[in-house]
């Protein structure tokens, strides 16, 4: 637990925020520096084949097999970038033997992490929690997963009596901006299946993700002096309101759950003459996903016809697909994880991801890659925290998966 805690806090303090507006890979120099640190740490630990791939920014390594029999190689993957929330001067706070009451994150600003707002905290009484100081995110997404993978490799090296096949590990950039796995080197990773350690609560096992696309809607208005605007002015502000009103108003993130998809107006900027709207479209069902894209195009066509001019122009681009479409054809990774958790007395919880992971893309590249729990919660904000006790369970789960795989 001490090694796990020390490594997590050391890594969490380092700003590795990715940048959607950057065109480099990785998208920020802070991630480049962190990759070099990882490379140095993994070499010092004695792992094999440690390297940084200059084309995609991934740091990878291997733990050789210690059995003579042929065993399918498996892998574990995490990302080291953090989301678009303040990541400067991260100061993790350690709460030992959590008592189930409010946690004062920041006295000066009276920022409180409360089970009255986040009731899942009550499940963690007696745990050691790591929180923010109320001014930054924590970065447990996904440095918790990264550290758990490293600690599992250390444990296996210290316990050669645990037999295992060849293990590959990889840590990558830019997952939070949806580009991390675009250049993932499947041939170099060379495993039968893998796991992303990028989940949340104890027992989580996810092999079904959204299908995802983004839609950019550009608005073209007509600007004139408001005093002489009658029958001439066309306000892009109003065009934006009109476009969004045509979408199902109950199919938005704040009104959906489980496998229900949504339209999400993530950002917009409008003036009189022009504007832009950024939507993300999500659905677990591929047919419904395609209908959502069609609805965006139909709305634009309808309104353009109404105004007898191209007031709306749409750009659609797919981001990732539901990894279940691949994994359901080879369930070894899921079955192995379920057995490992059962052996450890962990109650498994299979649920669809209301989002995506690098595993969504990697699965479609040829390596079935479900997602496992890490122990974190409230990601991407100042109320983020992680349970050190659940992190330990995640390490144990990795080790047990590896052990069981050598027996198959």
What would the pLDDT profile of 95-134 be if each residue is shown by its tens digit?
999 999 999 999 999 999 999 999 999 999 999 999 999 9
Q: Write the pLDDT tens digit of every residue in 317-365.
A: 999 999 999 999 999 999 999 999 999 999 999 989 888 789 999 999 9
Task: Specify the pLDDT at position 2.
Answer: 77
**pLDDT of 164 strictly over 90:** yes
Give dist(CA 260, CA 77) in Å, integer. Answer: 27
**pLDDT of 240 strictly over 80:** yes
* DSSP code per residue over 222-252: B---GGG-TTT-B-HHHHHHHHHHTS-TTSS
Residue where a domain terminates, one of 273, 302, 320 = 320
Q: Write the pLDDT tens digit of every residue in 138-162.
A: 999 999 999 999 999 999 999 999 9
Q: Are residues 87 and 172 both part of a single domain?
A: yes
Give dist(CA 63, CA 221) in Å, integer. Answer: 60
Q: How many residues does the chain have?
A: 408
Q: Are residues 177 and 244 both part of a single domain?
A: no
Catalytic choice (19, 142, 148, 175): 175
Q: Are residues 305 and 326 both part of a single domain?
A: no
Q: Are residues 130 and 41 both part of a single domain?
A: yes
Let me know if 88 is a catalytic residue.
no
Let me know if 175 is a catalytic residue.
yes
Q: Are residues 202 and 251 both part of a single domain?
A: no
Task: Determine the distance from the C-alpha atom of residue 274 to the mean position of all C-alpha atoms in its chain, rounded to a whole number.
Answer: 33
Query: Are the C-beta atoms of 392 and 346 separated by less than 8 Å?
Result: no
Count of domains observed in the chain:
2
Q: Are residues 165 and 21 both part of a single domain?
A: yes
Strand-pair partners of 76 = 169, 195
Q: Are residues 362 and 342 both part of a single domain?
A: yes
Q: Are residues 332 and 257 both part of a single domain?
A: no
Task: Specify the pLDDT at position 178.
Answer: 87
Q: Are residues 45 and 179 both part of a single domain?
A: yes
Torsion over CA: 373, 16, 48, 62 (sign):
positive
Give dist(CA 291, CA 302) in Å, integer. Answer: 16
Give dist(CA 320, CA 196) in Å, integer. Answer: 15
Q: Are residues 140 and 183 both part of a single domain?
A: yes
**pLDDT of 308 strictly over 80:** yes
Query: Are the C-beta atoms of 165 and 67 separated by less than 8 Å?
Result: yes
- Phi, psi dihedrals of residue 349, rounded to the nearest 5°: -135, 100
Q: Write the pLDDT tens digit of every residue in 174-206.
A: 999 989 999 999 999 999 999 999 999 999 999
Q: Write the pLDDT tens digit of every residue in 376-396.
A: 999 999 999 999 999 999 999
Residue where a domain terminates, one of 320, 351, 374 = 320
Give dist(CA 331, CA 225) in Å, integer. Answer: 64
Give dist(CA 333, CA 336) in Å, integer. Answer: 5
Q: Are residues 134 and 7 both part of a single domain?
A: yes
Domain span holding position 300: 211-320
Residue where a domain terminates, one of 290, 305, 320 = 320
Query: Are the C-beta atoms of 323 and 359 separated by less than 8 Å?
Result: yes
Catalytic choice (81, 142, 208, 384): 81
Give dist(CA 389, CA 375) in Å, integer. Answer: 8
Q: Are residues 163 and 219 both part of a single domain?
A: no
Which one, of 81, 18, 62, lies nearest residue 166 by Cα? 62
């Amino acid at each position: 637990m001490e090694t796990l805690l020390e490594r997590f806090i050391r890594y969490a303090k380092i700003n590795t925020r990715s940048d959607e507006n950057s065109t480099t890979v990785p998208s920020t120099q802070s991630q480049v520096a962190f990759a070099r640190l990882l490379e140095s740490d993994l070499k010092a630990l004695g792992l094999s084949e440690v390297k940084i791939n200059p084309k995609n920014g991934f740091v990878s390594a291997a733990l050789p097999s210690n059995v003579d029999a042929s065993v399918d190689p498996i892998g574990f993957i995490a990302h080291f970038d953090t989301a678009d929330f303040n990541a400067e001067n991260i100061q993790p706070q350690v709460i030992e033997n959590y008592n189930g009451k409010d946690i004062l994150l920041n006295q000066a600003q009276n920022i409180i992490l409360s089970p009255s707002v986040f009731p899942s905290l009550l499940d963690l009484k007696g745990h050691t929690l790591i929180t923010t100081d109320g001014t930054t995110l924590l970065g447990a997404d996904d440095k918790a997963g990264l550290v758990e993978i490293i600690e599992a490799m250390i444990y296996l090296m210290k316990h050669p009596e645990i037999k295992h096949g060849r293990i590959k590990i990889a840590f990558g950039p830019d997952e939070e901006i949806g580009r991390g796995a675009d250049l993932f080197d499947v041939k170099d990773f060379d495993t039968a299946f893998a796991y992303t350690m990028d989940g949340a609560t104890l027992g989580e096992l996810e092999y079904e993700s959204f299908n995802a696309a983004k839609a950019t809607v550009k608005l073209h208005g007509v600007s004139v002096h408001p005093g002489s605007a009658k029958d001439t002015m066309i306000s892009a502000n109003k065009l934006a309101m009109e476009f969004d009103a045509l979408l199902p108003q109950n199919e938005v993130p704040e009104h959906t759950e489980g496998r229900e998809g949504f339209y999400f107006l993530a950002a917009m900027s409008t003036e009189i003459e022009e504007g832009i709207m950024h939507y993300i479209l999500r659905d677990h069902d591929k047919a419904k996903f395609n209908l959502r894209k069609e609805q965006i195009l139909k709305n634009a066509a309808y309104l353009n016809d109404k105004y007898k001019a191209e007031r709306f122009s749409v750009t659609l681009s797919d981001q990732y697909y539901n990894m279940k479409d691949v994994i359901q054809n080879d369930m070894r990774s899921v079955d192995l994880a379920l057995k490992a958790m059962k052996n450890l007395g962990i109650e498994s919880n299979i649920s669809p991801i209301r989002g995506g992971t690098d595993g969504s893309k990697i699965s479609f590249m040829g390596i079935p890659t479900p997602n496992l729990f890490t122990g974190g919660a409230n990601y991407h904000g100042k109320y983020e925290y992680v349970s050190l006790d659940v992190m330990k369970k995640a390490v144990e789960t990795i080790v047990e998966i590896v052990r069981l795989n050598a027996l198959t």
